[in-house]
Amino acid sequence: MKSAEIRQAFLSFFEEHGHTIVPTSSLVPGNDPTLLFTNAGMVPFKDVFLGRDPRPYVRATSAQRCVRAGGKHNDLDNVGYTARHHTFFEMLGNFSFGDYFKRDAIRFAWTFLTETLGLPKDKLWVTVHISDDEAERIWKDEIGIDPERFSKLDEDNFWQMGDTGPCGPSSEIFFDHGPEVWGGPPGSPEEDGDRYIEIWNLVFMQFDRDAEGTLNPLPKPSIDTGMGLERVAAVMQGVHSNYEIDLFQNLLQAAASATGYADTTAPSLRVIADHIRSCAFLIADDVLPSNEGRGYVLRRIIRRAIRHGHKLGATEPFFHKLVDALDTEMGDAYPELRDARDQITRVLLKEEEQFARTLDHGMGLLSAALDNLQGDVLPGETVFKLYDTYGFPYDLTADVCREREVTLDEEGFHRELEAQRERARAASQFGADYSASIELDGETTFTGYDRLEDQSSVT
Ligand code: ATP
Ligand code: MG
Ligand code: MG
Ligand code: MG
């Protein structure tokens, strides 16, 4: 089954069960300063759950574009290292706003997986929250799940959108990719492996967490579910990694020809194929590379992609060349992407040209520092210099270090950052104002508060 067919089968299934199909929303959450990007299918419905946004339906379904880079659900550092994480992915979801609750949510999910998609029951593993006896009863007594493949867990089964907002206990469904893949079942010490991959999360929305951390009951218990399209596509297409599914083949080919590196299974090519999706869609949703907030997260993703191209030997700007392949792959489903194609290409090319000027030098400095390193911690001053002088975001340096099994002195880095801010403040008392920006090589490298916060949220 192709990805597009799975998407359609999902929406049709839930439409047949009384759900209204709601079009996908922007990656920039409307009117929600608490959230960096739309990181789940429920985000556009946040106020509906809270009872503040009445809709003409109580059941909805959607295929929502999501970005998980920065903020609460940050998967940037996972990309290139796991088979299942992207910065950009599509989340298929069904929602009940005070209508059905646990029983129907579980039944719908089980029916869709085992009947519509025809997945073998003995490959599916299920978890619920440690306190959730009701969901346990439904799974065991009504669905008849084998207790061998069922467990009750704690933090992993409490879902929240962000530090505040709708949340509740959840039930996760995993697919077992078989003993050839390393990893253990949910709750086991090896659960971080990629053998048992979580495909669907059913959240029993019951609370609104406020800024003090208090859980206030929602007006009505509701349902929010999310299934990663790419992960289900991997299952349906009989491949283990998300990067082996149909959606990624042309992108990987395009990345291979743009960088001149032929092996499409190389982790760096996968990183590039992943990152073009988040970067292009963010730009289509009007985010532009900058030094703060959302724009800085975008810049970090772009620079991470460029660095991986550099690692593969690309000497010319290559990243912007992938926009056409992405358009071919996803432009039908996302007309907003197609419309913004030229703009995306321009923005990426400009960013590539700007960063190219310092990338070589920065990489030279970093490689030398790593070659000469005593021990296995890169000093904070070096990380800061790369950041300040060469425009290397913290997580880019971290990515390079991880390849060499070196950790970063994060505290030292933040100390340097703070010291620089102090100097800027002191200098501004004497008339020169450095607080807005420091121009370097035509490029702004000022480290502002927003940037500092971003930085700490990704470490
Ligand atoms: P994991 O534990 O594998 O990181 P998660 O529990 O963080 O996943 P949820 O927040 O429950 O994920 O999101 C709902 C579903 O969205 C997941 O079950 C998965 O299918 C999909 N998903 C989550 N994060 C990603 C990602 N970074 N890339 C692709 N799909 C994802
Ligand atoms: Mg996760
Ligand atoms: Mg999980
Ligand atoms: Mg989950």
365-390 pLDDT per residue, tens: 999 999 999 999 999 999 999 999 99
3-state secondary structure 281-293: HHHHCCCCCCCCH
DSSP secondary structure, 154-207, as one string: SGGGEEESSSSEEEEEEEEEEEE--TTS----TTSTTTTSSSEEEEEEEEEEEE
Q: Quick one: pLDDT at residue 72?
A: 80
- CB of 177 within 6 A of ligand 1: the answer is no
- CB of 284 within 6 A of ligand 1: the answer is no
- Name the residue type at position 290: S
Query: Does residue 203 carry a pLDDT above 80?
Result: yes
How far apart (Å, rounded) are the C-alpha atoms in residues 23 and 38? 14
Q: Quick one: pLDDT at residue 459?
A: 27
Tell me which residue has its CA closest to atom 11 in ligand 1: 201
438 Cα to the center of ligand 2, angstroms: 36
- CB of 277 within 6 A of ligand 1: the answer is no
302-328 pLDDT per residue, tens: 999 999 999 999 999 999 999 999 999
Tell me which residue has its CA closest to atom 25 in ligand 1: 85
Q: Which atom of ligand 1 is least distant from the CA of 172?
A: 18
* Residue from 6, 81, 89 whose mutation best tests the ligand 1 pocket (most atoms within 8 A of CB): 89
pLDDT band at 430 (very low <50, low <70, confident <90, very high): low
Q: Across residues 357-361, what is the average pLDDT? A: 92
1-54 pLDDT per residue, tens: 999 999 999 999 999 999 999 999 999 999 788 899 999 999 999 999 999 999
258 Cα to the center of ligand 2, angstroms: 30
Whole-number average pLDDT of the chain: 92
CB 245 within 8 A of CB 88: no
How far apart (Å, rounded) are the C-alpha atoms in residues 181 and 184? 9
Q: How many whole angstroms from its chain centre is CA 418? A: 29
- CB of 150 within 6 A of ligand 1: the answer is no
168-179 pLDDT per residue, tens: 999 999 999 999
pLDDT band at 432 (very low <50, low <70, confident <90, very high): very low
DSSP secondary structure, 120-143, as one string: -GGGEEEEEETT-HHHHHIIIIII
Q: Quick one: pLDDT at residue 429?
A: 67
Q: Across residues 64-85, what is the average pLDDT? A: 93
CB 71 within 8 A of CB 162: yes
- CB of 65 within 6 A of ligand 1: the answer is no
Asked if this assembly's ipTM is beyond 0.90, the reply is yes
Percentage of the chain modeled with pLDDT above 70: 93
172 Cα to the center of ligand 4, angstroms: 6
Three-class secondary structure of residue 62 per DSSP: strand
Q: Quick one: pLDDT at residue 433?
A: 41
How far apart (Å, rounded) are the C-alpha atoms in residues 139 and 105? 11
Q: Quick one: pLDDT at residue 458?
A: 31
- CB of 310 within 6 A of ligand 1: the answer is no
Q: Quick one: pLDDT at residue 447?
A: 37
Q: Which atom of ligand 1 is least distant from the CA of 75?
A: 27
129-161 pLDDT per residue, tens: 999 999 999 999 999 999 999 999 999 999 988
